[in-house]
Amino acid sequence: MTALTRYQLELLLRSWGWLPPFLAYVLLMVVGVSAGDPLLGALGYGAPVLLPVTAWYTRCALTAEPPAARACRVAPAGAARVQLASLLAALTAGLLSAVAGLAVLWPLCGPVADPGAPAAPLAGALSAGLLASVVCVLLGLAVGALCNRPVLPRAQYGLPLALAGAVLALVASGSPANAAVRALVAAARSGRVDRPWTALLEALALTALVAAGTAWAAGRRPD
């Protein structure tokens, strides 16, 4: 599995498929965050941006090679393992973007909480922001997996459906991403930081279920 994932990452890099979602992430962050903004507020903005970006990464990883080339990997390794390797490559891209975003926001932003709010601990804000970002990356991976092959037979609809699903995952009241982002926004206003552990566990369980389901579907209906 490690070799398959490494190959998929190299394929994603060589194809430059990662560039459009990465540029979209950078553009949205430049538009939405300014130097000196409160850190928790900036993290509350940056984390949900990762959800559609990771869904886009997932599509790029799943469609990085033509069906004939994919079949050459499926023959010795199996369609399920190839599917999981593609998802792991997209997950890696999403997590690297999350860490890069956090590394940029930390020195760029000003106070931790909003003006007039009680002082919030920097370490707690950074850890809560990282956890919320991971939650959004996981849900973006799940949305992207459900909106591409082998679940969705028509590839041309994959990206718009993934972006629509990402928005739905952010605004739905029971969504782990919604809960994690709301916790950051509330922390920025109150100065009390709560790490979204429950949302993270829910996102892990949901993403694992989707990954297993799409791997099973790939084995049943390989390209």
86 is in which domain, residue-wise? 2-220
Pairwise CA distance, residues 73 & 165, whole Å = 29
For 3-38, give the DSSP string: HHHHHHHHHHHHHTTTHHHHHHHHHHHHHH--TT--
CA dihedral for 125, 131, 136, 140, sign (positive or negative): positive
pLDDT tens figures, 190-212: 989 999 999 999 999 999 999 99
pLDDT tens figures, 145-178: 999 888 887 667 778 888 999 999 999 988 999 9
Q: Report residue 74's pLDDT band, with 50, 70 and 90 as the boundaries.
A: low
Q: Which of 4-13, 71-80, 110-119 has the highest mean pLDDT?
A: 110-119
For the chain, how many structural domains are there in total? 1
Is the Cβ–Cβ distance between 163 and 41 less than 8 Å?
no
Pairwise CA distance, residues 62 & 141, whole Å = 11
